[in-house]
Amino acid sequence: MSLDRDYSPSTRVADLRVHLEEYERRSRAARAAGYRPLRYGPRPEQVADHFPGGSPDAPLMVYVHGGYWQELGREDSAFAAADFRREGMAFAALGYGLAPRYRLDEIVAMVREGVRWLAARAHGPVHLSGSSAGAHLVAMALLDGPPVAGAALLSGVYELGELRRTYVNAALGLDAAAAARNSPLRRLPDRLPPLVVAVGDNETAAFTRQHHDFVAAARPRTPELVSFIARGRNHFDLPLDLGRRGTPLGDAVLAQMRSRGSSQRS
């Protein structure tokens, strides 16, 4: 299997549009129920859509979308907001600039700025989550020790060396040095917050391998790491379980959020 195909998660689903339309439909419904856009930086893309929880000190889940750093946006990344709000928790869909307009270093810097901006203004514990490229960006944000209580990483890319030899790099333009400094697997700090790390069982070998490599490196650096391969899930429908009670991913994430000083119980 070529690297291009191995890093093409859409090859494992019948119709990618079905999943993207589901993101958009659920996000539209969540936004109709009420949210507030918060500007966290000077660039036009630096906006986070905030969905309030049941109380001012409710735990906040900040979600960073995927799309290989060049697609999607905050507008269709609020699909989990309703699930978290049903649990009394707040949710934020973090927007950021995309390639090729922005270099990956700039994208990473934007997400770090957004995470710190939201954490500085939150009255309750802050948790991070991301899928695919979003999981990479969350992992990069964790490198400088932001004040967060935990993170959930789904189907992430944590080592970018191979991506330089795929179609993905046409927009990113990574050289060896840029790939190295933007590979969180090479730069993990001594201490990480509690983590949930998951991947679907219908993924390409590259994403499954990246999952296992990251888990092996992160486990000794965190007080708690929940890792699993989600049965019956692929790269695109796994994020829909993020806050959904009764799913392995949703139950793990909600348990993590409740165990870190949350005043919300159900």
Q: Is 127 left (phi over 0), alpha (psi -120 to 50) or beta?
A: beta
Please tell me what DSSP assigns to residue 148.
-
Contact criterion met (CB below 8 Å) for 25 and 91: no
Q: Which residues contact 10 (CB under 8 A, 6 or more apart)?
A: 16, 235, 236
Each domain of the chain, given as residue ranges in start order, spans 3-256
The torsion defined by the Cα of 254, 248, 208 and 177, in degrees rounded to 10, comes to 0
Apex CA 230: angle with CA 25 and CA 137, to 5°?
Answer: 65
CA angle, 73 then 76 then 80, to 5°: 120
CA distances, 27 to each of 111, 206, 207 (Å): 20, 29, 26
CA-based nearest residue to 189, from 238, 245, 233, 148: 148
Is 50 in contact with 92 (CB distance < 8 Å)?
Answer: yes
pLDDT at residue 259, rounded to an integer: 86
- Residue 177 CB contacts under 8 Å (≥ 6 apart), including other chains: none
The string of pLDDT tens digits covering residues 118-130 is: 999 999 999 999 9
pTM exceeds 0.85, yes or no: yes
CATH of domain 3-256: 3.40.50.1820
pLDDT by residue, tens only, the chain of 266 residues = 599 999 999 999 999 999 999 999 999 999 999 999 999 999 999 999 999 999 999 999 999 999 999 999 999 999 999 999 999 999 999 999 999 999 999 999 999 999 999 999 999 999 999 999 999 999 999 999 999 999 999 999 999 999 999 999 999 999 999 999 999 999 999 999 999 999 999 999 999 999 999 999 999 999 999 999 999 999 999 999 999 999 999 999 999 999 854 333 22
